[in-house]
Every structure is written in structure tokens, then in C-alpha cells.
Amino acid sequence: MSEATARPLQVRGEVLSTHRVGAYHHLVLVAPGVADQARPGQFVALALGGPDTNLVLRRAFSIYRVSTRGVYGGTVEIIYAARGAGTQWLARQVQHTRVDVVGPLGRPFAPPRDVASATLVGGGYGSAPLFALAEMLQARGCRVDFVLGAASSDRLFGALDAKRMGSIVAVTTDDGSAGTRGRVTDVLPAVIERAGTDVVYACGPMAMLRAVSVVADSYGIPAQCAVEESMACGIGVCMTCVLPVRGDDGITRMVRSCVEGPVFLGDRVRWDDVGTVPADALGAPR
């Protein structure tokens, strides 16, 4: 994983393998070139449905991990839930199905300048990009701890990876079927205190990111949050994936999560106003 400034590629990818992982699917795609450029937190946009599809929009998937070596010349892996027509089609595909891949896209997680203690928080399959991030942080000498949460144990992703890599691994489920019953933010303060956390990295549903951001704020530490907004293109032209974010100048703008994100500083996102255009946003209706 190297330079993030490289331009995204559009390549004809191919399904290498697909497996069930609990309630999710794990897809390995051959995508020459994309793997070499990808950095943790970036995503790929896939054209799904095959050549005669009536699905006209791309689907964005956070990159779980990549492999730049091996006989396939670069693979990209994603974790997804088969919820809509596109992902249900994807779940039915077998080896060698062609899938058009655009990526890597978006701003990746930024590593801390100095050696730091990092707490990585994932909700559901939102934890997928955190493991490549953990590898990168550990290679820089950072301490890494995990807090993983989900509705139920089959919706937890990567608990074994986390146990292999993390100093502390805290797990929560809404129904108590694994770990502590409750939300990630119920256990996050204790982890921050034990780990002496300097920075939080989070990926998951909007409500979780908002809550994580509030906890990080209360400890005076930054939270880098990767958001999940629905996108039509993933490359910055459709303007559908916007959310209100405060800039360096203090002005709130409706920014595109595909090119200005998906990773934002938690204290810059106006979480309570997501889904609205705040009255003080640049260009808001008067």
C-alpha cells in the first residue's frame, strides 16, 4: 500500500473467490493495479449485475485488504451484506465472473505523525478496513486496540483478526450473543483509559460514528471516522453522497463523502445535521 495521490484506475476485474462469513460475504477480486495503490480506508466502486443489467449505479465497498503479490497480479478483498439487487447478484457469482472495478477511491485513514496508541472501532462489517489499518499502524510501532460491535454475533466481523493483532479486544453485541451486551460506546471509555489512547479510528453506521466521535471528544482525542453514505458514482461527479462538514475556515459545506471522505475528523462532521442542509451551510436556502 503506497501513494494515495495516484489517480484511480478503471479495470476489468474478475471474481477469484467468494465465501460466506457469518451474515456477510467475503469477495476476493483480481483487480490489476488497484491493489498496489490502495491505502487503508479507501474503497472500490463496482459495476454489478452483468452486461444486460438494469442496475445503472455503481456500488461502493470499503477495501478489507489487498494482496499485491502472488500469481493473480493483485487482488482486492471486500466484505459486504447481500441486501439489495446488486449485492444479491454479486453473492451468486462464481469464479471468473467479470466485474468492472474503479479504485482505489477516497481519502484513506491518516496515520499519526508519531508513535501513538490507536483504538480501532468497527460496527458490523464496517470493521473490514480496520485490519489493514492495524497492520500499517503496528509497522509504525503504534499500539493497537480494538472495539468491535454488531447487532448479533453473526454480524461481527474480524474478531479473530482483532484478537491476533490487538492488545485489548472488546466485543459488544446488541443482543448479548457475543461479548458485552450493549453498544461499542458502552465499553469504549474503559478501553481508552486502559490503553492511553491517542487517536480513535472508526468505521461503521452513521449513528455509531456519531457516538464514537462524542466519546473521543470527551477525552480530547481525535477520531477519524470513515462514513458510509449511499453513492451513485463514487468518483465525485454525481453529488448524491454529501454531508455537512465544517471546514478549516469554520464554514459548513455539503461535501462529497466519496472524494473529500470517506474518512473525516469526527469533530468536523455535523452528525446531528446529517440528512439535512443546516441553515448556516454555504449556499443554504434563505
Partner 1 sequence: MTFSVRTVPAPTAPAEPACDVTTRLGPVTLPNPVLTASGCAAAGRELDQFFDVTQLGAVVTKSIQLAARSGRPTPRMAETPSGMLNSIGLQGPGIDDFLAKDLSWLRERGARTVVSIAGSSVEDYATLARRLRRADGVTAIEVNISCPNVADRGLVFACDPVAAGDVVAAVRHETDAAVPVFAKLSPDVTDIVAVARACVEAGADGLSMINTLLGMALDLDTMRPVLAGVTGGLSGPAIRPVAVRCIWQVHAALPDVPIIGMGGVRSGLDALEMVLAGASAVSVGTAVFNDPGAPPRVLHELVVALAERGFDRLSDAVGFAHRGPA
Sorted by sequence, the CB contacts under 8 Å of residue 56 that are 6+ apart come out as none
Nearer to partner 1, 95 or 276 (CB): 276
Q: How far is the CB of 84 from partner 1 (least distance, A)?
A: 8
User: CA 62, CA 40: separation in Å to the nearest integer?
Assistant: 9
DSSP summary character for residue 238: S
Q: Which three cell numbers stand for residue 221?
A: 482525542
Sorted by sequence, the CB contacts under 8 Å of residue 198 that are 6+ apart come out as 112, 116, 117, 118, 221
Would you count residue 99 as binding partner 1 (CB under 8 A)? no
Among 70, 182, 237, 272, which residue sits at the site for partner 1 (rule: CB under 8 A)? 237
Nearer to partner 1, 148 or 255 (CB): 255
Cβ(41)–Cβ(4) below 8 Å: no
DSSP summary character for residue 141: T
Applying CB under 8 A, what is the total number of residues that bind partner 1?
36
Nearer to partner 1, 85 or 160 (CB): 85
Among residues 117, 56, 128, the alpha carbon closest in space to that of 86 is found at: 56
Would you count residue 284 as binding partner 1 (CB under 8 A)? yes
126-165 residues near partner 1, rule: CB under 8 A: none
Part of the chain binding partner 1 (CB under 8 A), chosen from 157-165, 177-185, 196-204, 228-236: 228-236
Q: Which residues bind partner 1 (CB under 8 A)?
A: 7-8, 10, 47, 54-58, 100, 102, 229-230, 232-233, 235-243, 253-254, 259, 274-277, 281-285
